[in-house]
Amino acid sequence: MNGPRFNEWIQSPKVRVIDHEGENLGVMYTREAMAQAQEVGLDLVEVSPNADPPVAKFLDVGKYKYEAQKKANAARKSQKTQEIKEIKMRPNIDDHDYDTKMKKVAEFIEEGDKVKVTMRFRGRELSHGQLGMNVLQRVAEQVAEVAKVEAYPRMEGRQMLMVLAPK
């Protein structure tokens, strides 16, 4: 059975009872509380099973489950998953191209995503790794107030990688 325990599924002999108007009726036997709930035309639903004694309320079970499901769906909808966006550069990148890429990096970080900056080396550029490192350090300095460097620049084959995460 998924969801809260109700009526005959409540296992404890005594429960603290709250009626349909929110009034605390005190601690009573579960059977007695169930009988009172049925008089009002509602179910006895365990809302706080870990309390001592457990807290039970007079509710309509179907409605209670529906509300709980709606609340869970709303929470799932409002939650944002963090993605990793990638920006690719070259060691001899021009100023305007660099500025354009930096605008995108700032945009991604503002949206709460991580950014993987990839510096690609081709041919002879590979022997001048310091040029790529300088560009990546410039990127890190430029976004220092909004992002932190999560993975410092490292070589992986023909490319140098760095990961930035929002602060």
Quickly count: other Cβ atoms within 10 Å of residue 100's Cβ: 12
Tokens of 118: 């990839």
Backbone angles phi, psi at 54, to 5 degrees: -55, 150
- Interstrand relation of 43-48 and 24-29 (parallel, antiparallel or unpaired): unpaired
pTM of the model: 0.57
pLDDT the model gives residue 141: 94
Nearest to 44 by CA among 4, 83, 80: 4
Is 164 buried (19+), middle (13-18) or exposed (0-12) by CB count in 10 A? buried
pLDDT the model gives residue 78: 85
Task: Report the b/e string of 30-58 with b at 16+ CB within 10 A.
Answer: beebbebbeeeebbbbbbeeeeeebbbbb
Per-state percent for the chain, helix, strand, coil, to nearest 5:
40, 30, 25
Q: Give me the residue spans of the domains in the chain.
A: 7-77, 84-166
pLDDT the model gives residue 81: 80
pLDDT the model gives residue 105: 95
Q: Please name every residue paired with 117 in a beta bridge, in sequence order, or none if there are none.
A: 87, 162
Q: How far is Cα 121 from Cα 145, in angstroms, rounded to an integer?
A: 28
Q: Does domain 7-77 have CATH number 3.40.50.2000?
A: no
pLDDT the model gives residue 1: 66
- Each residue's pLDDT, cut to its tens digit, for the chain (167 residues) gives 677 899 999 999 999 999 989 999 999 999 999 999 999 999 999 999 999 999 999 999 999 999 999 999 999 888 878 889 999 999 999 999 999 999 999 999 999 999 999 999 999 999 988 999 999 999 999 999 999 999 999 999 999 999 999 98
Quickly count: other Cβ atoms within 10 Å of residue 150's Cβ: 13
Pick the CATH number of 84-166 from 3.40.50.1240, 3.40.50.2030, 3.40.50.2300, 3.30.110.10: 3.30.110.10
Q: Is 37 within 8 Å of 44 (Cβ atoms)?
A: yes
Q: How far is Cα 126 from Cα 159, in angstroms, rounded to an integer?
A: 9
Tokens of 20: 């349909």
